[in-house]
Amino acid sequence: MLIAFSVAPSGTGNVDGSVHDAVAAAVRIVRESGLPHRTTSMFTEIEGEGDEVMNVVKAATEAVMPFGSRVSLVLKADIRPGYSGELDAKIERLESAIDDAE
């Protein structure tokens, strides 16, 4: 399973609206999980078996809770039994298709 998720607090009281400390707490959980992952400016992607990935997302969400009065979680999942290594393989197929079209 591949999951792309974004988790952030609201009601932080930060004048500038920054949530980087909360996001850092969530990303730390993902990194400590040992699962393949990638973090970009908007989402974190993580790959593994369904239960283990969902447990990491839950723990990352809980890590953000102390930073505000509520938490927003956006999640997109690609559930494709029998496949692994798709975190990179999907990008490789995309790049190949772009190269073939040129």
Q: Is the pLDDT of residue 83 over 70?
A: yes
Q: Single out the residue of 34, 28, 26, 35 nearest to residue 63, CA to CA.
A: 26
pLDDT for 14-35, tens place per residue?
677 778 999 999 999 999 999 9
Dist. CA 60–CA 93, nearest whole Å: 30
Q: Single out the residue of 81, 84, 35 nearest to residue 55, CA to CA.
A: 35
Distance separating the N- and C-terminal Cα atoms of the chain: 31
Q: For the chain, what is the mean pLDDT?
A: 93
pLDDT confidence of residue 69: 87
Q: CA-CA distances (angstroms) from residue 66 to 14, 41, 90?
A: 14, 22, 35
- 83 phi/psi in degrees, rounded to 5: -115, 140
Please report, rounded to a whole number, the percentage of residues in the chain having pLDDT higher than 70: 96
Dist. CA 38–CA 27, nearest whole Å: 10
pLDDT confidence of residue 13: 67
Domain that holds residue 66: 2-101
pLDDT for 61-82, tens place per residue?
999 999 988 999 999 999 999 9
Number of folded domains that form the chain: 1
DSSP 3-state of 30: helix
CATH of the domain at 41: 3.30.70.930
